[in-house]
Amino acid sequence: MTRPSAKEWSAALALFTLLTVAMTWPFAARLRIIDAGDSAYFTWAVGWQIHAIKTDPASLPHGNFYAPSRFTFFMDEPVLGTGLLVLPLSWLTDDAILLFNVARLLTWVLTGLFTWRLARDLGLAGPAALATGAFFAFSPIRVDQVSHLSTLGTQWIPLVYLFARRFCLEPTVMDAVRTGLFFALSFLACGYHGLFFAILLPLSLLPFLATPRFGQIVWKGLVAVGAAAFFLYPLYALSREALGPLGFARSGADTLKYAASLETFLAANRWNRAWGGLTENLRGDPSNLFPGLVVVLLAGLALARIHGRIPAAARRFVVTLAVLGFAAALLALGPEIRWRGAVLSPGPFALLRDHVPVFSNIRATGRAGIFVAFALALLAGAALQPVRRPAAASGLALVLFLLEARIAPIPTPSWTNVIDSSRPAPRVYAWLQEQPKGTIVAELPARPAGDFGRPAFHDSIYMVWSTLHWQPLVNGFAGAETPLVQRFRATAPSFPEPEALDVLKEAGTRYVVVHLRGYGPNQRERLEARVAEMGGRIREVARFVNGDRAEVDTDVVYELLAG
């Protein structure tokens, strides 16, 4: 067991910070900008959890979307295990976009840093350990979907194995508790990872059970299970409250659509500068699981040395990593093992889905590939340790890996600049902030969740704007939907016809914010003329001009009347 000095910690932190800025550029220059969709949802999620913790912790489960529904925060990934990273920064700013973007970059920094710490604990020298941290943090598998803060939340995985390995070598209650705590944090960072980890962690640690301490490991291991259960039971209970009434479950077809297939282990993200174009014909979005040649070759070298003269504990951990990577790859393949569309055999995930109900909520089984990346990174680092010139070999391997893993500069076309929080916000949101707390609001136009044709008017963007006032929204964007929001979206194009007003009334809506810029000239004329005819049910209460073209860039607030 090697304990790095404060100087080593500082140097590792500086290296992974610099690499994060370079490998994800221009994210560090766009800390106040957000686009619609998943990035916007996670921006809201980070903002909501910090707002609730600072103002009313009891309100945390009840996010301010899908009004008047409750427990909405748990209708998708709450990313609590990653949101807490920016809790200290939240005392300096309430800008949810800034907090999200900083949290996203911190996942790279801390994933690299904590993997380096695990590698040092395994006895790897400084250069090899630094390379190991980079192999995992910047793995093409890990950065395949940079908009998902949940799947980027891998920073706690190395610490789980750090304390699990220590526990297996010398079973203590303290290391059992630490293992359970960091497992819970990993689960809270990404539910997908947590569910897969619940299978993969005990399975991969089986090689350590063949020791004289077998009894201690099993009995004291229950402490780790209890610690994890203590922190995770609220997540389970609240998720059931949120999803149970909806009868939420992924269909088999949906799971197959987002599962990996064998060829996707040979495909990289289309942004990848080295392999993106070369693997285009093998790509199976969103599961692109090619880890790069450097780590594969080095991991193979580590496995080839397993029969050499290495300590028994080191040999067991190599086997642990081999089991982890292989089992994770099988889970990533989903219900069926396929090659180029042909089904070769059923996959192990089919058994989990059929016999463990919670796994029916998993759609993208390809996300189990993150554990393949983790196992390969550590095996690759282990291969660098015994070479003749470890510093030079580690440096060369790191440079070659970064070249083949590079996605920077990440494409940032103008349509991704939906909100820039450094610019003045539309005036209507300051007006909404002044209204009584709990005033239910709907925003129009409202389109289907999968329609990103006009990103400025996507429900995920309305959620980000809501972080300026925190009034409950009828709109929303999450993994699950309520029947009421589905009816709201279906009738929204007909606003202010009676069927649209009836749904809004059912939701308890008081104010409807209409962004005239989201409508064509004829639609604007029809809408305002029809409102005038509906005087008994709706009236205009405020109008805000945001630009020079008052006839276009205007937000109108209508109030639904009691009659």
Helix (H, G, I), strand (E, B) or coil at 509: coil
Q: What angle do CA 372, 375, 378 make, to 5 degrees?
A: 145
> Beta strand pairing status for 511-515 and 554-560?
antiparallel
* Residues paired with residue 136 on neighbouring β-strands, in sequence order: none
The closest of 3, 20, 16, 233 to 123, measured between CA atoms, is: 3
The closest of 141, 131, 55 to 91, measured between CA atoms, is: 55
Q: Would you state the structure tokens that stand for residue 355, as one six-digit string? A: 């016999």
131, 397 contact by CB (below 8 A): yes
At 96 the pLDDT is: 98
At 131 the pLDDT is: 97
Residue with token string 């003045």: 424
Distance between CA 1 and CA 183 in Å, rounded?
Answer: 21
- Dihedral sign, Cα of residue 36, residue 85, residue 18, residue 378: negative
Q: What angle do CA 133, 151, 143 make, to 5 degrees?
A: 55
Q: Would you state the structure tokens that stand for residue 38, as one six-digit string? A: 């998943």
At 32 the pLDDT is: 98
At 549 the pLDDT is: 59
Q: Would you state the structure tokens that stand for residue 237, as one six-digit string? A: 């209970």
Specify the long-range contacts of residues 46-49, CB closer than 8 Å, at least 24 apart.
46/79, 46/82, 46/83, 46/86, 46/96, 46/99, 46/100, 46/103, 46/149, 47/94, 47/96, 47/99, 47/100, 47/464, 47/467, 48/73, 48/467, 49/73, 49/78, 49/79, 49/80, 49/83
Burial of 383 (0-12, 13-18, 19+ CB in 10 A): buried
At 546 the pLDDT is: 86
Q: Would you state the structure tokens that stand for residue 499, as one six-digit string? A: 């069927």
At 551 the pLDDT is: 58
CB atoms within 10 A of CB 546: 18
Indicate the domain borders of the chain. 6-30+77-405, 424-560
* Cβ-based neighbours of 234, under 8 Å, separated by 6 or more: none
Helix (H, G, I), strand (E, B) or coil at 547: coil
455, 518 contact by CB (below 8 A): no
SS (H, E, C) 262-325: HHHHHCCCCCCCCCCCCCHHHCCCCCCCCCCHHHHHHHHHHHHCCCCCCCHHHHHHHHHHHHHH
Helix (H, G, I), strand (E, B) or coil at 560: strand
The closest of 33, 335, 276, 259 to 143, measured between CA atoms, is: 276
SS (H, E, C) 67-99: CCCCCHHHCCCCCHHHHHHHCCHHHCCCCHHHH
Q: What share of the chain is helix, strand, coil (3-state, %, to 5)?
A: 60, 5, 35
Distance between CA 355 and CA 358 in Å, rounded?
Answer: 9
The closest of 318, 291, 316, 294 to 382, measured between CA atoms, is: 318
Distance between CA 539 and CA 343 in Å, rounded?
Answer: 59
Q: Would you state the structure tokens that stand for residue 422, as one six-digit string? A: 């450094």
At 58 the pLDDT is: 96
Residues of the chain under the 70 pLDDT cut:
1, 285-286, 308-310, 548-552, 563
The closest of 119, 104, 6 to 378, measured between CA atoms, is: 119
Helix (H, G, I), strand (E, B) or coil at 491: helix
Distance between CA 185 and CA 368 in Å, rounded?
Answer: 17
Task: Name the DSSP class of 337.
Answer: E
CA 321 to chain centre: 24
At 552 the pLDDT is: 65
144, 332 contact by CB (below 8 A): no
* Cβ-based neighbours of 541, under 8 Å, separated by 6 or more: 511, 557, 558, 559
CB atoms within 10 A of CB 378: 30
Name the pTM for this structure.
Answer: 0.95
> Beta strand pairing status for 511-515 and 441-444?
parallel
At 506 the pLDDT is: 96
Residue type, 179: T
Distance between CA 463 and CA 43 in Å, rounded?
Answer: 9
